[in-house]
Each structure stands twice: as structure tokens, then as C-alpha cells.
Amino acid sequence: MKKLFRRGVVFSLAVIPALAALNATAWANSHLEKWPTSKVNTTGLAVTDDTVTIGILHSITGSMAISESGSVQAEKLAIKQINDAGGVLGRKIEWIQEDGATDWPNFAEKAKKLIVNDKVAAVMGCWTSASRKAVLPVFEQYNNMLYYPTMYEGLEASRNVVYTGQEATQQILAGIDWVVAEKKPKTFYFVGSDYIWPRTSFKIARKHIENVYNLKVIGEQYYPLGHTQFNSVINKMKLKKPDVIFSIVVGGSNVAFYKQMTGAGVDLTKQTVITISATEDEVRGIGGENIHGTYMFAKYFQSLDNPNNKKFVEEFKEMWGDDIVIGDVTNNAYLGPWLWKMAVEKAGSFDIDRIKEVNPGIEMANAPEGYVRIHETNHHLYSKLRVGRARMDGQFDVVHESELMEPDPFPEGYQ
């Protein structure tokens, strides 16, 4: 009885403002003539005359919260900007946020909840490959769209996912080309955390270094996630004196690695160190004084000097505070809602199947990183690779910019 009563209260609380909003916007319902709800939503998604609901699925608790909070902020900023500009097909975007809690099966459950119960029109979410692999079957079974922001190892191309980060070849091949041309090294040394992304990336890097340039990889070392002692590997590197150290250490280990490198007297402005795992977010924890001089390969840096990015950084800080830093993945997460909006508008429909059809070739010219385009077959983005050199203040100087690179998640000859 009590429950029923409470539900009644909640219902009326929800309905009254909704009705008020309806009255207020009734005069501006011209979009309904062009895109009537029955036409743009034939599969029962959460689309009303005035709103469309999408899901946000990231870890805001647990150890991945460190990395994923930036993505959530970026997605909310994009949604706000889209709404301020009139929404999607005349409908304001509303979001339902679920917490993945750094627990991969939990990601799958929450994804199912968002898709089946909430009937969201798309989901912005996931960060680690493990969480993406966990939700992928859900998205394919119930047919929904996932916008995935992280740079990752490749070896996947689902039609239900748009990968807004770079896959391994985009990040690594052009980066190695640059370092070989610039530093003329003879030898490389790899250090990484022990899981799929560093291992796959190093496999690609090794093939490229050995087969294309005929240079040597003289060491390849992996450490468990969360490892905090790197003195032994630093000693090994001191003995072998590699021309280039390539690091894909992640998380807390990343901080330990650089702190101990500088602690052991390795001068990163003289010893060439390249990495794909130290965005502005990580550098905050590492400290600029421990990492300055290191070269990072990414498609986006907060310091990119173009008008789109300046506007993006300004609005991001306005919404989330001045002391925030924006890394590569945060930029990628920001692209998600925009690419989805473009797909919906191109299709003239929220239907997932229509979005899948129109996804190939969608272009975004004013992204913070510049021009991007969704690939015709694998739904990754064409993007440029940039080489940034870490500064004392935790930002990067961009020292090199590649041509627009085709995404190639299944690189032939590199597997």
C-alpha cells in the first residue's frame, strides 16, 4: 500500500513538470512535422516528441574511475552543447548514467539494463578492452550502438561499435616512422604492463622495427598490473643501453616507472623514451618533473593549436573547473555524442539499423583534433598521429603531425 502511494507521488512529480514543459514548447513543435516520432523511431527506443535518451556507461567507482571520469565529463559536455544547439532531430538528449564499477560482468549487466529496460538510443561507454569485450555480445544481441573512446589494440570491428580512439597501428606505425627518421636509433627496448594492449602493440611495433627498418629490439619486458618496483628493469636498460625505450606501462605502475627512472638518474631529455600510455591525465599523477622530455604518440593533445580545440578546452574548463586536464581519450569520448548525432541526422531516424547503414563515411570537420571520418568498413576513425614532447608543466609540445591515417584493426603482416 505504502509502495503504491509512493509510486503515485513519484509519478505525479514526474508528470507535472513534463506537462509544463510540453505546454511551453508546444509552439515550437515544427520538428514533429518533419520528423514525427512514429517515423524516426520504429523499434521502440526511448524517444518522445521532445526528448531522446542515451546511456552513459563508465566506471565511476573502483580502480578504473581514475581514467574513466574524464570520459564521462566529455560526454556530458558534448550532450549539453548538442542540446544548446537544438538537440537531435529537434529532440533534447537526456542521459541515464550507470556505473560499471571496474567490474567487467557488471558492465555487461548494466549495458543490458540500459538497452532492454531503459531502451536507450545509443550508449557512450566503456574504457578498458575487457569491459568492451564484456558488453559486445549484449550490444550485438539486442542491437544497439556503443561509442567506445579508448585507444586500443585493434583486432575487432563490430558494426554495433564506433571506435573513436585509435587502434594500435595508427598510434604505433607512424610514431615509429617518426622516431626512426628523427633519432636514427639502432636498438629498441620495450617495457609494458602485462595484458593484451601492451602485448599486441609491442608485437606490431616489433614487426615494424625488424621487418621494415631492419633494426633491433634488444629487450621486451612485462610487469603485472599494479607493479610498483621497476629498479631491476631500469638496471637492465642501463646495461643494454638501448637507443630508444618504448614504454606501455599503465595505471599506478606508470607513475612508479617514471618516478624511478628519474630517481635512478636517467635523463629523459637525453635518453629517448617513447610511449603511448601517458596522456595529460596520467602526467598529472606522474608529475611533469618526472616525465618531461618523453615523447607521447596520440592523436590529441590539450595544447593543440587550432580554433576548434581552443574552444573545446575553454568550454570544458568552464563546465568542469579550471584545474582539469584533457587527454586523448577525453577528446575521443567527446566525439561520441557528436558522431551519433550526425548519424541520426543523416539517417533521419533513431533506428539502430539505419544508423549502422549511414555510419560509414560520416565526417566531422570541426573536432578538437581536426578532421575525422568514420571508416567505410571497420567503424574506426581516420585520424592523424601526433608526437608530443612532455613539458615540465604537464602539457605537451607537439613536435610532429602525420598525414591522415586509415584505421586498420586487422593489419596484415603484423599479426
Partner 1 sequence: MRALVNLEYQDIKITSEKIRSRVEGKKMLGYTFGELGSIVAMQGFAGLILFSVFVLMGLGLAIIFGQLGVINMAHGEFMMMGMYITYIMQLLFIEFAPGLMNIYFFVAMAVAFIFTAIMGGCVEFLVVRHLYRRPLDTLLATWGISLILQQSIRVVFGTREVGVVKPEWMMGSVAVTDMIDIQIYGLVVMAITIALTIVVMYLMLRSVWGKHVRAVVQNREMAGAVGINTARTDRTTFAVGCGIAGIAGSAFTMISSTAPDAGQHYIVDTFLVVVFGGAGSLLGTVASAFAISQTQSTLEFFITGSMAKVWTLLIVIGILMVRPQGLFAVKIRR
Q: Give the residues lining the site for partner 1 (CB under 8 A).
A: 60-63, 65-66, 68-70, 194, 203, 206, 219-224, 226-229, 231-236, 238-239, 251-256, 259-260, 262-265, 281-282, 284-287, 289
| CB closer to partner 1, 42 vs 228 | 228
Nearer to partner 1, 129 or 253 (CB): 253
Between 52 and 255, CB nearer to partner 1: 255
> Which C-beta is closer to partner 1: that of 219 or that of 360?
219
- Residue placing its CB nearer to partner 1 in the complex, 262 or 308: 262
Q: How near is the Cβ of 189 to partner 1 at its closest, in Å?
A: 11
Q: Which of 293, 265, 284, 261 is nearest to 189 (CA)?
A: 261
CB of 206 to partner 1, least distance (A): 7
| 254 versus 359: smaller Cβ distance to partner 1 | 254
**In angstroms, rounded to a whole number, what is the distance separating the alpha carbons of residues 145 and 412?**
27
Paired sense of beta strands 187-193 and 216-223, if any: parallel
Q: Which is nearer to partner 1, 47 or 233 (CB)?
A: 233
Rounded to a whole number of angstroms, the minimum distance from the CB of residue 171 to partner 1 is 20
CA distances from 63 to 38, 58, 99 (A): 43, 12, 12
Nearest C-alpha neighbor of 141 from the set 167, 105, 176, 112:
112
Beta strands in 35-186 (DSSP E): 51-58, 92-99, 123-125, 146-148, 161-163
How far apart are CB 244 and partner 1 at their closest, in Å? 17
Shortest distance in whole angstroms from residue 103 CB to partner 1: 13
Q: How many CB atoms lie within 10 A of CB 29?
A: 12
- 332 close to 72: Cβ distance less than 8 angstroms: no
β-bridge partners, 295: 274, 389
3-state SS assignment for residue 385 = strand
Minimum distance of partner 1 from residue 180's CB (angstroms): 20
Closest separation in Å from C-beta 280 to partner 1: 11
The DSSP bridge pattern shows strands 146-148 and 161-163 to be parallel
Identity of residue 112 = K
DSSP bridge pairs for 94: 53
